[in-house]
């Protein structure tokens, strides 16, 4: 079994899962402080329904991919990789937005959750439903991002899903360590490090998405003569080229092949390819300069520990 394909979803689910676990832990701590622990069952129900709905979306995406391929068997090879490319784009958009937005909103997480729980408790009879929806939305937000990432790697079998489940278990363990056993974890530093990993993973997803679209264009050109012009790079431009990604800019297949260790690890985690084409290289660099640069500025832009309460402080105090 190739466990390397489980690594990206493990990292993503671990980071997303820890965020959801923090919200769950804060809510449970606030309910205990307010002597409303009878509402804990609503919290657990929100977690369970959120995970179930996320899994259901994953199953539906897989079913749609299979159904569309079966409906047009002559274009099955085109449909499958084209949908994977589309799912890649959705995952890139959702993960990038989450990374930037959550980094900016992290310092207000506890206050936001406290306000939501306080409002729910004031609703008296509807307090349980208020807590339920708060948890459900938190879990779904993180779950959908992981589901689209797994869908984008449909061809890799069940290993990405295995990585997602493993990451979820690890995230739950982190939540237990913080809120049940009072282990002091530097949450702010954890998210910063995981954020850097996430930027690199999503940058690799940009390379993968472009390759999927190139594969779809090449398959369409081969299956339909009327579409041959889609592959606009010909030998008169360069002898080694792709269909729509332009000429090859690097070939490290003899030094670090992406189907052998350790190249396969870099491929799974960071989108490394031993054969890289021009458009892929440009897309990778542009993503790192834009989204990656924005993320780095958000965590290093003149923030001092004195005027910015870190998550570590907030999380450790939440169990009081």
Strand pairing class (275-277; 248-251) = antiparallel
Interval 219-276: pLDDT, tens: 887 766 656 667 765 554 555 567 888 888 888 988 988 878 778 888 877 778 888 9
Higher pLDDT, 1 or 290: 290
Q: Which of 64-78, 82-96, 124-138, 239-253 has the highest mean pLDDT?
A: 82-96
Cis upstream peptide for 262 (omega within 30°): yes
Q: Which residue has the tokens 């979820």?
A: 168
CA atoms within 13 A on the CB side of 88: 23
CA distance 216 to 138: 35
pLDDT (tens digit per residue) in 148-168: 887 776 666 677 778 888 888
User: Which of 43, 19, 165 is closest to 95 using CA atoms?
Assistant: 19
> At 316, is the pLDDT very low, low, confident or very high (cuts 50, 70, 90)?
very low
Torsion of CA 91, 93, 98, 104, to 10 degrees: 160
What does pTM read for this prediction?
A: 0.77
DSSP alpha helices (H): ranges in 123-262?
127-152, 159-179, 187-223
Taking the CA atoms of 242, 200, 15 and 8 in sequence, report the sign of the dihedral they define. positive
Count CA within 13 A, CB hemisphere, residue 64: 14
């Amino acid at each position: 079994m190739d466990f390397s394909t489980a690594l990206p979803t493990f990292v993503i689910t671990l980071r997303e899962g820890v965020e959801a676990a923090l919200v769950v832990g804060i809510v449970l701590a606030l309910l205990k402080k307010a002597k409303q622990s009878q509402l804990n069952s609503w919290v657990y129900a929100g977690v369970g329904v959120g995970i179930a709905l996320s899994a259901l979306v994953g199953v539906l995406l897989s079913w749609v991919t299979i159904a569309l391929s079966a409906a047009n068997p002559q274009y099955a090879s085109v449909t499958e990789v084209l949908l994977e490319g589309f799912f890649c784009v959705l995952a890139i958009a959702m993960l990038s937005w989450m990374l930037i937005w959550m980094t900016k909103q992290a310092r207000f997480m506890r206050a936001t959750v406290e306000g939501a729980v306080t409002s729910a408790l004031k609703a008296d009879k509807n307090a349980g439903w208020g807590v339920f929806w708060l948890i459900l939305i938190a879990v779904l937000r993180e779950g959908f991002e992981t589901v689209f990432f797994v869908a984008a790697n449909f061809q890799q079998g069940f290993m990405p899903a295995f990585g997602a489940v493993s990451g979820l278990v690890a995230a739950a363990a982190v939540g237990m360590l913080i809120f049940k056993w009072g282990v002091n974890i530097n949450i702010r530093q954890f998210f910063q490090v995981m954020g850097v990993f996430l930027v690199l993973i999503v940058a690799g997803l940009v390379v993968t998405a472009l390759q999927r679209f190139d594969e779809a264009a090449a398959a369409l050109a081969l299956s339909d003569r009327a579409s041959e012009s889609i592959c606009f790079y010909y030998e008169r431009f360069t002898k080694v080229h792709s269909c729509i990604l332009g000429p090859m800019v690097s070939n490290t297949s003899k030094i670090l092949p992406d189907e052998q260790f350790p190249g396969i690890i870099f491929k799974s985690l960071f989108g490394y390819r031993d054969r890289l084409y021009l458009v892929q290289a440009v897309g990778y660099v542009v993503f790192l300069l834009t989204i990656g640069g924005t993320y780095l500025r958000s965590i290093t832009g003149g923030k001092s520990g004195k005027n910015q309460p870190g998550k570590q402080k907030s999380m450790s105090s939440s169990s009081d």
